[in-house]
């Protein structure tokens, strides 16, 4: 099975637009949107979500005031300063609580209960050219890396069930835990960068992160014609490290128009120079 992850060191480089284009180039493709903190690929592919499941990200402590005598023992033991006295009553901050369960264990009156954080969801459904799995991590919730792993595992199961040979993974931006979960075990990593100094800097960061994962790294320079000087610097850096630059996509306002109409550029303007360049990139990465 060919698992291809599309990554970027920073947001706004065109990673999701490229993922959508790849997802609409062939039939029977499985797409996994692993940008669980800000998933938006589903807005373009519009999957018919036939399965919606809750993802438990952890637990939060709540106080049963009928049992609590406001002794304050839990305040002393909380390492996260999530418990304090307010107006003479013990109170727990939902945002500061780490869900470690220590307070519930040391409470002699068993007045502190742990409730699951169940506001996050993952989904699977059919889209225009295949199947899609994506998720939404609720604001303030944790374990984004674990949720990414859930998305990827179900994507693999679906690919096996429908006989798909390709999984397109729209990875999260940056270099954090969800990125590590997205890149682990894939065959190829496509780094989408832009011709700006911040884009170049973050390309270097994402490459440093992934170079120890035994993954074939490839670079796509998006909107390369907006700054030829920086584009040349990126190409020279890639050449020095023997990282293939598999495509240079020109700036085109039609990409935005395509997204506004919930289409990929392949569907919106199939004969445009951008679409032709993306087709060429797809051909290269699949050889």
What pLDDT score was predicted for residue 49?
Answer: 78
Q: Does domain 59-116 have CATH number 1.10.10.10?
A: no
What is the mean predicted confidence (pLDDT) over 198-213? 92
What pLDDT score was predicted for residue 179?
Answer: 94
Q: Which tokens in the block code for residue 258? A: 């395509």
Tell me which of 287 and 157 has the higher pLDDT: 157
- Which pLDDT band, with edges at 50, 70 and 90, does 158 fall under? very high
- Which pLDDT band, with edges at 50, 70 and 90, does 9 fall under? confident
- Region 2-56+120-285: CATH code: 3.40.50.300
What are the structural domain ranges in the chain?
2-56+120-285, 59-116
What pLDDT score was predicted for residue 36?
Answer: 94
Say whether pLDDT at 1 is over 90: no
pTM over 0.85: yes
What pLDDT score was predicted for residue 141?
Answer: 81
pLDDT in tens, 32-84: 999 999 899 999 999 997 899 999 988 999 999 999 999 999 999 999 999 99
Asked if domains 2-56+120-285 and 59-116 share a fold, the reply is no
Say whether pLDDT at 166 is over 80: yes
What pLDDT score was predicted for residue 261?
Answer: 95
């Amino acid at each position: 099975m060919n698992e291809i992850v599309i990554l970027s060191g920073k947001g706004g480089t065109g990673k999701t637009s490229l993922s959508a284009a790849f997802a609409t180039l062939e039939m029977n493709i499985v797409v996994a949107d692993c940008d669980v903190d800000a998933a938006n690929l589903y807005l373009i592919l519009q999957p018919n979500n036939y399965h919606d499941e809750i993802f438990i990200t952890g637990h939060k402590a709540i106080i049963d005031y009928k049992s609590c005598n406001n002794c304050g023992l839990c305040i002393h033991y909380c390492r996260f300063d999530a418990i304090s006295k307010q107006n003479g009553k013990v109170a727990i901050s939902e945002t500061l609580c780490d869900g470690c369960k220590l307070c519930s264990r040391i409470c002699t009156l068993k007045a502190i209960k742990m409730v699951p954080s169940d506001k996050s969801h993952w989904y699977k459904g059919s889209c225009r050219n295949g199947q899609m799995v994506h998720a939404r991590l609720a604001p303030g919730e944790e374990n984004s890396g674990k949720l990414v792993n859930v998305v990827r595992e179900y994507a693999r199961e679906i690919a096996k069930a429908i006989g798909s040979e390709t999984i397109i993974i729209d990875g999260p931006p940056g270099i954090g835990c969800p990125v590590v979960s997205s890149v682990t075990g894939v065959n190829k990593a496509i780094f989408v960068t832009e011709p700006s100094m911040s884009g170049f800097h973050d390309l270097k960061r994402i490459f440093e992160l992934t170079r120890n994962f035994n993954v074939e790294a490839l670079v796509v320079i998006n909107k390369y014609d907006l700054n030829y000087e920086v584009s040349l610097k990126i190409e020279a850096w890639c050449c020095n490290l023997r990282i293939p630059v598999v495509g240079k996509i020109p700036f085109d306002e039609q990409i935005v128009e395509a997204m506004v109409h919930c289409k990929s550029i392949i569907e919106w303007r199939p004969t445009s120079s951008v679409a032709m360049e993306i087709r060429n990139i797809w051909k290269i990465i699949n050889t």
